[in-house]
Structure 1
Amino acid sequence: MDMSAPLRERSPTNAVRIESHPGYQRVFRRDALTVGLILPLETHPDSPQPTMRDHIAMAQRAEDLGVAALWARDIPFLDPAYGDVGQIFDPLIYIAHLAAATHTITLGTAGVVLPMREPLLLAKQVNSLDHLTEGRLVVGMSSGDRPSEYPLFGIDFETRGERFRDAFSVYRNVSESTVPRFTSPRFGQSAGLLDMLPKPPYGRTPAIAVGRAQQTLGWIAENMDGYLGFVPEPEQLESFGKEWRELVRHTAGGSAFKPLAFGGFLYLHPKPHQPFKRIKGGFLIGSRALRDFLEQARDAGVNHVALNPKVTPRPYAEILDELGSIVLPAFSGK
């Protein structure tokens, strides 16, 4: 990664070419499916927090094997009721660290809790990071699902959906428009006298919804660049893909492509043919059955799956090797 490279000229807002964004291209492709991993790259089924040892080596190994993306979660505080703090580090800061140790793998958030973020500063951070990673950043945004965190920020949990839309509008406006104008009941106002630099290097940094974010799926299809939902049952894959395609066609036109993804915990069973079984927050499955499940998902129109093997009671390196030999060759992100 060349930190001395000049900033790329920004595309005009009306000529955003998101298809040219390298991070987006690596993860999201028409009629194809890629595999990503949710951080940390460590198993810790009996502890709320990982050790974060060897995480750089695991990220480099994942990149070499053809994993398309690494996804960082946004969990500001440890809530014992949830017992999970993700990768511990702030997602954007951690992504910057990973970017310096990797070369091509997409780095994303899954997702930034937008109602708890100040959108003007978030736009500055995201635009800067997309430049410094040379277009490897994809921003997943969510509304958050932990009511205990909201009082610490002085925010009403029940209004997080409305706050999400307000923050997203300001974020997009200030990020992509020249000397933007806006008025927000929560996030200030601009009379069109000031501009934010840098602008996104490819016109727009891809922003996808992680979960419904307290919005309708139609709103997501119309306003965001993709959708990452919860893991469907195998028999629900076809309807999962069909509903999304129809909404995208209705809101963005028949030729539009907006990717569909799903993600959650993966308990990789030692028996390769162990069939799909629902577990809390994800699913249990064997590696060969997983490959079949992902082929079925691809045929249903799913473009990406983000897996979090933290609940698997096996060494992470062993899980990576098994995915690399059985699953990833069919869905490589290289």
Structure 2
Amino acid sequence: MSGVILSRASLIPLDNFLGAWLIGLIVSSVFFGVTCLQVYLYFTKHSARDPVFLKTFVVLLLALDTLHLAFVSHSFYFATVTNFGDYVELGTAPWSLLVQMAVAVLLATCVQLFYAFRIYTLSNKSLVLPVMIGVLAFADLALAIATVHKTFQVKYFSLASEDLPYFAASLSIKVACDVLIASAMVYYLLRRKTGFHKTRNAINLLVTYSLRSGAITMMCAICHLATFVALPSTLIYAPFFFVLVRLYTLSFLSILNSRDHVREQLFSIAHAMITIPSSYTGDSSKLPADAETVMTGAEKGTGKVSGSVFSTTGEEGPGPHPSML
């Protein structure tokens, strides 16, 4: 009897299955803890001026993130505790491991659609890129649902290669959507650069956030795709997928929680209106470098300032509008 058990066990490389499964669960749980911290910081320090819709959206993402981790945890418990020693069952994907894929893609779709709305705002309400992002996001969601339906029919890990076209198409669309989002964000932000030092710093900071969040999620998605294509009959790819879900939530929350810092850089001078005494007549070159001087037509030709009010950007400068942050 023991020989039969050993022979069955030898057919299933536990390192490639339970080992990878466990590593993915542990790492994604750590990232989930960071997500909870980011949500706590958002509601305690950064949400005062946000509309109810945005706060509700954050709660929705946290709920989906929690549900995804619950499904992953249940699937591992089902394989290692409920069916302990059953090597036939170990070769079958639990229902919760299949459903978590749909939850993960639904979460990613929500984040991508939110970025599409931000691009719509940044582009002065141009619909071209937001619609393209929306089409890619919903196509990814549709493929994920089709993949889950297909895997429920197959179930066995050894036959996972049959789902390769679905997985490859879904991940390729996801990467394309992330690249489009990051490129559009960078393009429209750079277009709003001004000659003011503070504004340039704020724009550069926003560009850095966009590139960093897009690059991290894209690299994780590429690693997931590469490992699944190379080893489709194992779970080596699972840690990358579990972490990828957390990265979408974390990148979104990190941008929300960084807005105050960006606003401080962008508007520290813009909100400071300085009135020059009417008795003052001096060289405009001695004014602060970040100041945009309001002068009369005659004064513009002389470089002199007399009884003027100046500000950094005015009320409708070319930099990002506060609602975009």
Same fold judged by TM-score > 0.5? no
Greater C-alpha radius of gyration:
2
Higher relative strand content: 1
What TM-score comes out, normalization by structure 2 length? 0.23
Kindly indicate which of the two structures has a greater share of residues assigned to helix. Answer: 2
TM value normalised by structure 1: 0.22
